[in-house]
Amino acid sequence: MDSPSHLKAHARSATLPRSGRRLFYYEAGSETLPALLLVHGLGDEADSFRHVIAPLAKRYRVIAPDLPGFGRSPLPDRGRLNPPALRDTLIELLDSLGIARAAVLGSSLGATLAQLVALERPALVERLVLVDGALAVRTRFRAGMFIMLLPGVGRRRYRRLSHNLDAAYESLRPYYAALDRLPAEDRDFLRQRVAERVLSATQQRAYVAVLRGLVGWMLSRGRALAREATRLELPSLYIWGAEDHIISLSVGETASREQPGARMEIIPNAGHLPHQERPSEFIRVLVQFLEPASS
């Protein structure tokens, strides 16, 4: 998997000292700037933030990793890929880079991981930004998610898309308010990228492993941690696409109300990935939150 040309200069790779996990990440912006960690969602990679990394790097030291098993980060040889393991990977990455304090932004599953980082190491997180995702006290799982967990089913469904790349591209449609209205360059990128994902045996295994770990963990610990998250005493912003068909806007509205001091911003004409569909509006909202004195 190749990086977009404008991000190649920011590509990095590291072996984390405690876990030994190898991780790909982007690092952009001066080390003297405030740190901003960007965490992608399930089945995605750091290129989800391709439109916002360079603009944000003018104001922040931006760190955007591929989670283990996704994008250019290899699948670990051992250990689970559940939310606590992914949380620990993110903490270890920041520690290895000498970052003692950071704003942490997560998209979809990445939002849950951002909250877990804040719960585990509150001193590490200066501000929290949750994009179309959050720990929810009233979690509802779709039937299709449980079907994907049946032995062999998840991988078979994933592999089926590798034999029909048009269908693989169409599988992206629910994630956008209007996939066909994206610029042609963006649509071409997404078509190539989803093909690379479904043709990768590593990403097939990682997707199913993380999904299995996520559901099991949510059933056992998710609601209790969601209640803890409502008591987080740090500035928090929920950003939601107005036309999110993956995680309902009501989830963000409820979660933001339950956390004292949190606020919510809704981006119109955007779906589950507003940083891709409306990057300029996304950056404006984000910077106003991160730098309230400058707004």
Asked whether the predicted pLDDT for residue 232 surpasses 50, the reply is yes
Structural domain range at position 235: 5-141+221-294
Rounded average pLDDT over 201-228: 84
Token readout for 51 is: 């439109």
Token readout for 75 is: 């699948």
Say if 129 falls within a structural domain. yes
Say if 202 falls within a structural domain. no
* Spatial distance between the Cα atoms of 158 and 206, rounded to a whole number of angstroms: 11
* Spatial distance between the Cα atoms of 29 and 54, rounded to a whole number of angstroms: 8
pLDDT attached to residue 34: 97
Say if 89 falls within a structural domain. yes
pLDDT attached to residue 215: 81
pLDDT digits 0-9 by tens, 66-108: 999 999 999 988 767 899 999 999 999 999 999 999 999 999 9
pLDDT attached to residue 51: 98
Return the higher-pLDDT residue of 80 and 255. 255
Q: Mean pLDDT across the chain, nearest whole number? A: 90
Say if 84 falls within a structural domain. yes
- Looking up residue 54, the CATH number of its domain turns out to be 3.40.50.1820
Asked whether the predicted pLDDT for residue 146 surpasses 50, the reply is no
Say if 278 falls within a structural domain. yes
Which position has the token pair 């990445």? 110
Say if 68 falls within a structural domain. yes
Say if 246 falls within a structural domain. yes
At 29 the three-state DSSP class reads coil
Asked whether the predicted pLDDT for residue 151 surpasses 90, the reply is no
pLDDT attached to residue 25: 98
pLDDT attached to residue 155: 61
Name the domain count of the chain: 1
